[in-house]
Structure 1
Amino acid sequence: MAEQIGTIISSAGKTMIDLLKSQAGFADGDIVMKSPVDAATSAKVALFLFQVQQNSYLRNAEQQEVGVDGLRPPPLPLDLFYLVTALSQDPDTALGHLESVMRVFYDHPVLKPPLLPPTMVDAGNEAVRITPHPFSLEDMNRLWAMFPNKAFSLSVTYVVSPVQVPSSRIAPISRVVEKTIRVGSR
């Protein structure tokens, strides 16, 4: 478990890239996990994680048993918000790349094994959803304001959820192994 800590969020992004490479024909280096400003000029699509939030609906999950003498708090459920931007200077090519990404995420809205890597499955992620997250024009302008030296490019946003990050804390427990009942007469 210890080697998995800190790799779940990055595994989610890499899984999305692998899905796009296998289903849309993108090659290595065509999709980068960077902001549209920091993306290499040779890249075709930027997949930028711009927000991470705790999923408030899944916070009350049950504790998990660890062996016979421990309990682990429920996993930390996260929602990951991605900005997907086509990077081509040619408008038709950019629209084609964006359409390819949207089609793949539409055709594969739920990632389950074998699409999920062992790192995520071992952490308790049975299924992760890729859902369009529409932004108003005003919200999209605010988001693009993070890149003051970059002109607005047509983009779409997605939320990837729930991404479960296991707790590293284990609380020791002692089980009842023997019960004594005394019955007396009055």
Structure 2
Amino acid sequence: MSADAIAVATAELQDRLAAAIGAPVYVGPPIVDDVVDRKLSLFLFHVVVNQALRNERHLVASSNDPHDPLVEAEALPLDLRFLLSVFRSNGPGPAADPDELVTLGLAVQALHASPTINVGSVAARVTPEPYPMEELSRIWGLLPRASYRTSMVYLVSPVYVALAPAFSGAPVRRRTLRPGALSEPEIDAVGS
């Protein structure tokens, strides 16, 4: 529930997917020149406020003690949409993977087997999101240097980003009152 909640959720997905496919996962737009020899890219393409939770109270533990009461936290709930795209690995030797659909299957299997993220202050659900071909075409249209790859969209929600704590100055230790007389403001006689 801190400012790094989006980064924490993304890193957790990246680690989970890398473990599932047995290879590093590229985080960023699925452009061949950037992905290089990785088999999977994870691209956060859409961040939006979760309208259903926006006006709901968000309660968090006040400490690590489970018996302590929950307190309300000022946080913004977000929906994160990720595009998972697979790439064919054409490397030499046994490392070559000509079937990117196996990679996609392993990724889907891993996210379905463990559909929640519970890392630090991030607790969110990971679900596949049905995306019509028209919508996928729009996403790929935003990437002029990329040619279409087999892809799926996943929704990670809610990811709470906490509001920055308000700055408070040093406590008041002593008050000093200075008596004085108020005077009337001077009026310029030239203008009248």
Closer, same or farther: CA 60–97 of 1 in aligned 2, 3 Å: same
Alignment check: 8 A CA contact 2:57 2:72 kept: no
- Normalised to the residue count of structure 1, the TM-score between the two structures is 0.72
Alignment check: 8 A CA contact 2:21 2:106 kept: no
1:32 corresponds in structure 2 to: 26
- Normalised to the residue count of structure 2, the TM-score between the two structures is 0.70
Q: SS of the residue aligned with 2:44?
A: strand
Q: SS of the residue aligned with 2:35?
A: coil
Moved more, 43-52 or 89-98: 89-98
Q: SS of the residue aligned with 1:58?
A: coil
Root-mean-square deviation (CA), in Å?
A: 2.8
Alignment check: 8 A CA contact 1:64 1:74 kept: no
Decide which structure has the larger Cα Rg and report it: 2
Is 1:55 the counterpart of 2:24? The answer is no
Closer, same or farther: CA 63–10 of 1 in aligned 2, 3 Å: closer
Alignment check: 8 A CA contact 1:72 1:168 kept: no
Q: SS of the residue aligned with 1:149?
A: coil
The Cα of 1:154 is off from its aligned counterpart by 0.8
Deviation string, structure 1 residues 126-157 (Cα, Å, up to 9, x no partner): x2100111111111111111122322111000
Separation of aligned partners in 1, 2:38 and 2:149? 15
1:16-27 correspondence to structure 2 within 5 Å: 16-22=13-19, 24-27=20-23
Q: How many matched pairs? A: 153
2:187 corresponds in structure 1 to: none
Closer, same or farther: CA 58–104 of 1 in aligned 2, 3 Å: same
Is 1:156 the counterpart of 2:156? The answer is no
Is 1:101 the counterpart of 2:107? The answer is yes
Structure 2 unaligned residues grouped into runs of 5+: 63-70, 91-96, 169-192
- Give the percent of matched residue pairs that are identical in Structure 1 and Structure 2: 29
Structure 1 unaligned residues grouped into runs of 5+: 173-186
1:144 corresponds in structure 2 to: 140
